[in-house]
Amino acid sequence: MMQDRILGSALSNRIGLARLVGGCLTLMFLVGCATTRVQPPSIPAGKSMIVLEAGGVESLNFGIFDQNTGEKVVETAGLTAFVPPGVYKLVVQTDIDQSVVIDSVKIQTELEKHIEIPVGRFIMTVSEQYTDEQGEEKTRRVRPRFTIYDYTLSRPLAKGITTFPPKRYVLPIGDYKVSIELPGTFEQRIIKEAKIRFGRIYPLEFRFTSRTQ
């Protein structure tokens, strides 16, 4: 009987110790989470913070200009900037030869000014279907040259080489055409439409068949 009591007491002590350790670990975890929270940047005295709302785009290159004089006040990358009170013009760069311009942005002292930037993104992948030496059909990713046009194909806006992993291209909202050049293939050239909308990533997938192995 005495041995049973001793064993029961030892077991109870172990359970209590386990609960204590678990509680301490939980407390440490909560404290750690609290200490790693990112605080918003404080606004310097006499200035305000401009915050770009870009629909999920993590960073943009942009400039802020005095609306009246045209003088450049800030040129930076990111989504925030500090400026004195005034009236400004924002010029936001994209991945094509067309910036987003927002005029007459009024800034007051020590306040945050959130500005929606009308941009969206598309992601492009290119796959080649071919037949190997054993006669099996296979698919592989390739990196051809591409051109981004306006919707009527009358004006090229950007040229480049597709990347891997695929890049998310930032464009002003609107409809565009994207072409890839495929010399030595059946298609030669493929053109597809890209619909750019705020807060969305438009998937643009090209597939073609190779003439050779």
Respond yes or no on whether the N-terminal peptide bond of residue 165 is cis (omega within 30° of 0): yes
| Biggest alpha carbon–alpha carbon distance for the chain | 96
Mean pLDDT along residues 173-202? 90
Structural domains in the chain, CATH included, are: 48-116 (2.60.40), 119-209 (2.60.40.180)
Q: Which residue has the tokens 């007491």?
A: 9
Q: Residue 2: is its pLDDT beyond 80?
A: no
Cβ atoms of 90 and 101 within 8 Å: the answer is yes
How confident is the model at residue 17, as a pLDDT? 45
Tokens of 148: 């981004």
pLDDT digits (tens, 9 = 90+) for 23-82: 444 444 444 444 444 455 688 888 999 999 999 999 999 999 999 999 999 999 999 999
* Mean pLDDT score across all residues of the chain: 83
Tokens of 84: 């004195």
Which residues sit opposite 206 in a β-bridge? 126
How confident is the model at residue 25, as a pLDDT? 44
Tokens of 162: 């597709």
Q: Which amino acid is at 174?
A: G
Q: What is the pTM of this model?
A: 0.74
Q: Residue 163: what are its φ and ψ, rounded to 5°?
A: -110, 160
